[in-house]
Structure 1
Amino acid sequence: MHHIVPQDTIARVLETCSFESEDTRITESTVNLVDKYLEMFVREAVLRSLENKEQEVKQEENNPLREATVLTHKDLERVLGVLLLDM
């Protein structure tokens, strides 16, 4: 199974950034849940960015059709605020 973020990285981030007590343990099911959430978040961000980019291309006059749509970090930034509110 391919993970957007490796599960050991998720566990490490949770351990180092989320909990004050060193006695706190993270279960495998918690890491799996965060992994699924991250995958859903990234997929939704890409889909919204792509939809937004395609609408921009359609609105531009005299714009030749491109063979492929290329997303950049700016495209992701444009949808991030609303995406965070929706999630």
Structure 2
Amino acid sequence: MSRVEDETTINESHSVTVPAAVRREAGIEAGDKVRWRVEDDGTLAVELVKQRHGAFSELEPVDIGEETNAADDHDLVTGEQ
């Protein structure tokens, strides 16, 4: 038995809105994706694919005593100039 159940309508452009109660229960956030699958018996399955935006956002910056530029430094690391 489901803990949360709701329904929504498919609009003219075939988009759907995930109901707020479902978003809260599943922990769905902006930027997450859902994977749609139709099973052999015709059952529709939806799987949440979490996106890891800001994977480094909890890391503290380290002061190395000089200013850096990630775009320019990347080119140096790869040997391009």
Give TM-score scaled by structure 1 length: 0.23
TM-score scaled by structure 2?
0.24
Which is higher, the Rg of structure 1 or of structure 2? 2
More strand by share: 2
Higher RCO (CA-CA < 8 Å; seq separation 6+): 1
